[in-house]
Structure formats: structure tokens, C-alpha cells
Amino acid sequence: MKRILCVVLLSGALIVVFFAFNKENATASATKVAGSLNPPLWEQSISKERAARVKRGDTMALPGKELLRLLPNCIASYQPSGNSGSSLISLMGSKYRVAEQTYKKDKKTLKVSITDYNAAYTLYNVATATFASGVAIDNNEQIVKPIALPSKEAKGWETFDKQSNKATVFVGIGDRFLITIEATDQPNPQDLEKIVEGLDLGVFSGK
């Protein structure tokens, strides 16, 4: 459960609001954050992908076994290490599912998680709100920037800690899935970008 909570926190800085207070305060804080966006979350038009899913009655997260099958068998030369796992998380009346797997190459480690927000559309918007901001930071401590991806349905964001050489990439796809990839021992953040570019995002098409 501890690892799952870490995944949730990594899915976007804004979503921390939901964990910071009790349920009553979290609701008020989330409303304040959502209302600060332009336009507010509840006024944003949903994507064509989301509208198509709603029309056909597809409004629930994938079952655990199906979500686990979306995890890559390997990434570049990184191989799976240990067992994969999935959890269904309930938060403020919404439910979403997380699947995760660790991969290793020599002493380097990749952790990949896929979060299905199909039944928690507002939480997806909050978790990926940073993507739309276009903010880029490069200082002595960190790099934060958007990244380009080959899929038109996907939007990417990267953070890099210059002190620990830890890189994290977030990929939002289809207004539904959030893929989080954490890498250790990455002296060059572009290395993780190349790994992400090699992901088969086509497996998410039509979902």
C-alpha cells in the first residue's frame, strides 16, 4: 500500500491536495484548485475519446488483470524484477486503478505505473493540469519541462533531480491513463526520454 500511495503522489503535484487534509477540507481545497484553472474543470469540454467512452457506457476502470497486461514486457534492455501488482483506490467517491512493475538493468532501476482514471475523470484533470501550464524550470537542483511524444493522443512531462540523478516522466494518454516512469542513476535526463519514446503507446488506442 505504501508503494501505491507513492505512485498516487507522483501522478501530479496538484493531486497532493486530496491527501493533505481530512475529507471535508480536501473537498474544499480540491474545489479551490479546480476553480483556479481557466476554464474551471467542470466547464472544460471532454475529449472525443472520453465522449466516445461515455456514449458506449465505458465509464469504469479496467479490471486488474487487463490493466496489468498493458505494462510492457520489457523496456529497452530493462527486464521485469519481482511481481507486478494492481490496486483499486477509492478517493472522495471516485475510484481508479493502479498497476505497477519494477524493471532492472545492472544496478539501474525503472518503476512503471499505469493509472486508469476512467471512473475518475476530474482526478485525471487535476493530476495532469501541470501538462497544460507549459511551465519549464532549469536550475541547480532540478529540471522540469514538457516533452514531445510520437502519439498525438499523449502528453508528456518530465522532472529531473540533479542531486540524486533521479528522473521521472509522466505521460497522459486518451484523457484516461497516466503512465509514470521513475528511473534511478540517470545522469542524463534525455536517456529516460529515449526510453519513453520506445514505449508502445498504441496498446492504449481505442480504450
The pLDDT of residue 152: 78
> ∠ at Cα 106 (104, 111), nearest 5°?
20
Query: How, if at all, do strands 166-173 and 154-161 pair?
Result: antiparallel
**Which pLDDT score, from 0 to 100, does residue 134 have?**
79
Q: What is the pLDDT of residues 27-54, one digit of tens each?
A: 343 344 344 444 444 334 567 888 888 8
Q: Which residue type sits at 165?
A: N
| CB within 8 Å of 143: residues ≥ 6 apart | 137, 158, 159, 160, 162, 189
DSSP string, 50-101: HHHHHHTT--SPPPHHHHHTTS-S-BTTBEEEEEEEEEEEEETTEEEEEEEE
Instruction: Report pLDDT digits (tens) over 54-102.
Output: 889 888 999 999 999 999 999 988 999 998 999 999 988 889 999 999 9
More confident residue, 27 or 103: 103
Q: In this predicted model, which residue has the larger pLDDT, 43 or 110?
A: 110
Residue 8 reports pLDDT greater than 50: no
Q: In the predicted model, what is the mean pLDDT of residues 9-30?
A: 37
Kindly state the cell numbers that stand for 196: 519513453
Cβ pair 18, 31 in contact under 8 A: no
Q: How many residues are recorded in the chain?
A: 207
Locus of grid cell 498516487: 8
Cis? peptide before 39, omega within 30° of 0: yes
> What is the mean pLDDT of the segment spanning 7-31?
38
Is the pLDDT reported for residue 181 higher than 90? yes
Quote the pTM value: 0.76
Instruction: Indicate the domain borders of the chain.
Output: 2-204
Nearest to 16 by CA among 33, 40, 37: 33
Alpha carbon 183 to chain centroid, angstroms? 14
